[in-house]
């Protein structure tokens, strides 16, 4: 994997991580109710679930590469199309009049409980598995060993994921009131949509 490819991947996942999703809401809830220190367990739960989904995606990619390189090329184009679909869907969403609401957290907030909650939120989203399957092939050079490349992609994602969970938890008191505005959330959706569309365009225009 070239350094330029890694930088593009890093830029893409940073923009994706900025957009507030389910894990961001959970992180802010934990940050407000239990504090930054305990939210470290939340971050580890999020990273753990993501790594499992990544390994499942990597296993599928490995099986596809063993079968045919042509299938991998098709998967890259399908992945780019999926990213484009996500982008257009977000761009076309309309505000529902509702802002972000932090759900009341349950339990005493032990590290085990916070880890479990974050892990279950992450692992129970099948869209993440599809997303990783669409994203990873765009940055893999099939002429080079795939193991080290997948390790770099997974490690980079884990560091970014952990960092943003902690950012949301640490800045929950500032971010939560700001994101309660439905207009601002709608702006985040549109920005995320633009990111996905631009990412899909960049990926399909790159030389393979």
Q: What does the pLDDT look like over 80-108, one tens digit per residue?
A: 787 788 778 777 766 555 545 555 555 66
Segment 3-15 shows an average pLDDT of 86
CA 63 from centre of chain: 23
Q: Which two tokens stand for residue 9?
A: 């991947």
Q: What confidence category does residue 43 fall into, taking pLDDT thresholds of 50, 70 and 90?
A: very high
CB 105 within 8 A of CB 28: no
Burial of 76 (0-12, 13-18, 19+ CB in 10 A): buried
119-142 confidence digits (pLDDT tens) = 998 888 766 777 787 778 788 887
Closest CA to 19 of 161, 206, 156, 207: 161
User: 144: helix, coil or strand?
Assistant: coil
pLDDT tens across 49-68, in order? 999 988 887 777 666 666 66
Question: In the numeric block, which tokens belong to residue 98?
Answer: 């509702």
Q: What is the DSSP string of 76-138?
A: HHHHHHHHHHHHHHHHT----S----PPPP-S---HHHHHHHHHHHHHT-HHHHHHHHHHGGG
Interval 182-192 mean pLDDT? 63
Rounded CA-CA distance 154/38 in Å is 24
State how far the Cα of 68 lies from the Cα of 64, in Å rounded to an integer: 6
The pLDDT of residue 160 is above 90: yes
Look at residue 193 and tell me whether its pLDDT is greater than 60. yes
- Its pTM stands at 0.76
Domain regions of the chain by residue span: 3-205
Q: In the chain, how long is the greatest CA-to-CA distance?
A: 52
What per-residue confidence (pLDDT) applies to 182? 52
């Amino acid at each position: 994997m070239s350094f330029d490819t890694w930088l593009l991947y890093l830029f893409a996942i940073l923009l994706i991580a900025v957009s507030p999703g389910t894990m961001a809401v959970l992180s802010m809830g934990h940050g407000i109710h239990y504090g930054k220190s305990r939210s470290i367990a939340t971050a580890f739960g999020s990273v753990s679930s993501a790594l499992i989904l990544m390994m499942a995606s990597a296993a599928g990619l490995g099986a596809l590469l063993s079968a045919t390189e042509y299938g991998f090329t098709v998967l890259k184009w399908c992945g780019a199309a999926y990213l484009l679909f996500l982008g257009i869907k977000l761009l076309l969403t309309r505000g529902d009049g509702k802002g972000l609401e932090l759900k009341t957290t349950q339990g005493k907030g032990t590290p085990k409980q916070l880890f479990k909650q974050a892990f279950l939120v992450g692992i129970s989203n099948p869209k993440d598995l599809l997303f990783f399957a669409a994203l990873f092939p765009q940055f893999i050079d099939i002429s080079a060993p795939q193991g080290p490349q997948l390790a770099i992609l997974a490690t980079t994602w884990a560091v970014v994921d952990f960092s943003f969970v902690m950012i949301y938890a640490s800045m929950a008191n500032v971010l939560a009131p700001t994101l309660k505005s439905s207009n601002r959330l709608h702006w985040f959706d549109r920005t995320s949509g633009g990111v996905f569309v631009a990412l899909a365009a960049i990926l399909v225009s790159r030389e393979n």
